[in-house]
Chains A and B, each alone.
Chain A
Amino acid sequence: MTSTSVKSAYKQGFRDGAPFILVIVPFSMLFGVLATEAGLSIFETLSFSVVVIAGAAQFTALQLMGEDAPTLVVLASALAVNLRMAMYSASLSPHIGGAPLWQRAIAAYCTVDQSYAVSITKYELTPEMSPREKIFYFFGTVTPVIPMWWIFTLVGALIGETIPASLALDFAVPITFLAIVAPALRTRAHVGAAITAAILSLMFFTIPYNLGILLAGIGGMMVGAQIEARREASQ
Chain B
Amino acid sequence: MIDRTELWIVIICLGIGSFALRFAFTGLVGDRELPDWLMRHLRYTAVGILPAIIAPAVLWPAATGGNYDLPRICAAIVTLALGLIWKNVVGAILGGIATLYTLQYLLS
The winner among B24, B39, B48, B90 for most chain A CB atoms within 10 A is B48
B79 interface neighbour in A19, A38, A131, A182, Cβ under 8 Å: A182
- Give A221 to B24 CA distance when docked, in angstroms: 19
Rounded to whole angstroms, the CA-CA distance of A227 and B37 in the bound complex is 13
Contact residues of A: prevailing secondary structure: helix
User: Across the interface, do B60 and A205 meet the contact criterion of CB distance under 8 Å?
Assistant: yes
A:195-220 near B, CB below 8 Å: 195-202, 205, 212-214, 216-220
Closest chain A residue to B85, Cβ basis: A182
Is B14 touching A180 in the complex (CB atoms < 8 A)? no
**Distance (whole angstroms) from the CB of B12 to the closest CB of chain A:** 7
Are A177 and B7 closer than 8 Å at their CB atoms?
A: no
Closest Cβ of chain B to A137, distance in Å, is 14
Q: How far is the CA of A22 from the CA of B84 in the complex (A)?
A: 20
Q: Is A132 an interface residue (CB 8 A)?
A: no
Contact B15 A51 (CB under 8 A): yes
With contacts A90-B29, A171-B72, A175-B96 taken as known, whether A225 is within 8 angstroms of B83 at the C-beta atoms is no
Smallest Cβ distance from B62 to chain A, in angstroms?
7
Q: What are 20 A-B contacts defined by CB distance under 8 Å?
A: A40-B7, A51-B15, A54-B14, A54-B18, A82-B18, A91-B45, A93-B29, A97-B31, A101-B27, A105-B27, A171-B75, A178-B80, A178-B96, A182-B84, A185-B84, A213-B49, A217-B45, A219-B48, A220-B49, A223-B44
Give me the interface of A with B, judged by CB distance under 8 Å: 19, 22-23, 38-40, 44, 47-48, 51-54, 56-58, 61, 65-66, 71, 74-75, 78-79, 82-94, 96-98, 101, 104-105, 107-109, 111, 113, 116-117, 120-121, 124, 131, 165-166, 168, 170-171, 173-185, 189-190, 193-202, 205, 212-214, 216-225, 228-229
Interface of B with A (CB < 8 Å)? 1-2, 6-7, 9-15, 17-19, 21-27, 29-34, 37-63, 71-72, 75-76, 79-80, 82-84, 87-90, 92-94, 96-97, 100, 104, 108
